[in-house]
Amino acid sequence: MKKKLFWTIIIFFAFLLFCGLSVGFGVLAFKAMEGQPAFFTTTDSVALIRVEGVIQAGDPPSDVFGNTSEGAYSNRIVRDLRRAEDDPHIKAVVLRVDSPGGGVVASDEIYTQVKAMTKPVVVSMGTMAASGGYYISAPADEIWANRHTLTGSIGVIIQFVNIEGFMKKYGIGATTIKSGVNKDTGSLYRQPTPEEIAIWQKIVDEAYGIFVQIVAEGRGLDEATVRELADGRVYTGQQALDLHLVDHLGNLKDAINRAGELGGIAGEPHVIDFRAPAPLLPGLFGALQKPSPAEELQTILHIDASPSLMYLYTGN
pLDDT tens, position by position, 182-194: 888 888 889 999 9
CA distances from 37 to 5, 79, 226, 272 (A): 50, 10, 38, 13
Which helix (H) or strand (E) segment holds residue 94: the answer is strand 90-99
pLDDT at site 60 = 84
Q: What percent of the chain has pLDDT over 90?
A: 60
- Taking alpha carbons only, the member of 159, 138, 158 closest to residue 211 is 138
pLDDT tens, position by position, 138-160: 999 999 999 999 999 999 999 88
pLDDT at site 93 = 98
Point out the catalytic residue in the list 107, 131, 187, 308.
131
pLDDT at site 214 = 97
Which helix (H) or strand (E) segment holds residue 223: the answer is helix 223-229
- Taking alpha carbons only, the member of 262, 52, 267, 253 closest to residue 144 is 253
- Taking alpha carbons only, the member of 129, 166, 165, 131 closest to residue 145 is 129
pLDDT at site 309 = 82
pLDDT tens, position by position, 89-112: 999 999 999 999 999 999 999 999
Q: Is the pLDDT of residue 64 over 90?
A: no
Q: Is the pLDDT of residue 278 over 80?
A: no
pLDDT: is 56 or 69 the higher one?
Answer: 56
- Taking alpha carbons only, the member of 256, 278, 313, 296 closest to residue 68 is 278
Residue 131 among the catalytic residues:
yes
pLDDT band for 61, please (50, 70, 90 cuts).
confident
pLDDT band for 27, please (50, 70, 90 cuts).
very low
Q: At what angle do helices 74-86 and 104-116 cross, to 10 degrees?
A: 0
Rounded Cα distance between 275 and 273, Å, is 5
Rounded Cα distance between 81 and 36, Å, is 13
Tell me what the pLDDT averaged over the chain comes to: 83
For the chain, give every domain's residue range.
43-154+232-312
Superfamily of domain 43-154+232-312: 2-enoyl-CoA Hydratase; Chain A, domain 1 (3.90.226.10)
Q: What percent of the chain has pLDDT over 70?
A: 73
pLDDT at site 37 = 43
pLDDT at site 316 = 52
pLDDT at site 55 = 96
Residue 183 among the catalytic residues:
yes
pLDDT band for 31, please (50, 70, 90 cuts).
very low
